[in-house]
């Protein structure tokens, strides 16, 4: 199975969870209306990383922020995959 963005995922949890994601279901064309919001905005991968790492400056290694994997969004895995 491929990730929502068409990228392969090495996580069985992600693969099995895709069916319940609201953005992955065609009957939810109006996600904002379904959740009672006026609009839905999506972050870029860089925006997501910036948002979740903003308050964890202590989590650095060699000057790089650590702790957040975005491989399922970018296809860039931190380890070599064995398919």
Q: Tens of pLDDT along 30-75?
A: 888 888 999 888 889 889 888 887 766 556 667 665 667 788 788 8
Is pLDDT at 78 greater than 70 in this prediction?
yes
Kindly state whether residue 83 falls inside one of the protein's structural domains. no
How far is it, in rounded angstroms, from Cα 46 to Cα 53? 11
> Which band of pLDDT confidence, cut at 50, 70 and 90, is reported for residue 19?
low
* Contact assessment for residue 33 and residue 27, using Cβ atoms and an 8 Å cutoff: no
Domain count for the chain: 1
Kindly state whether residue 31 falls inside one of the protein's structural domains. yes
| 3-state SS track over 30-48 | CHHHHHCCCCCCCCCHHHH
At residue 18, the pLDDT reads: 61
Structural domain range at position 40: 1-44+59-77
Kindly state whether residue 37 falls inside one of the protein's structural domains. yes
Kindly state whether residue 70 falls inside one of the protein's structural domains. yes
Q: What pTM was computed for the model?
A: 0.48
Kindly state whether residue 53 falls inside one of the protein's structural domains. no
């Amino acid at each position: 199975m491929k990730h929502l963005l068409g990228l392969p995922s090495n996580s069985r949890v992600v693969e099995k969870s895709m069916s319940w994601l609201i953005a992955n279901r065609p009957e939810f064309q109006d996600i904002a209306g379904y959740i009672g919001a006026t609009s839905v905005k999506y972050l870029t991968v860089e925006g997501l990383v910036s948002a979740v790492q903003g308050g964890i400056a202590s989590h650095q290694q060699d000057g790089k922020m650590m702790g957040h994997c975005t491989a399922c969004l970018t296809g860039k895995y931190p380890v070599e995959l064995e398919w």
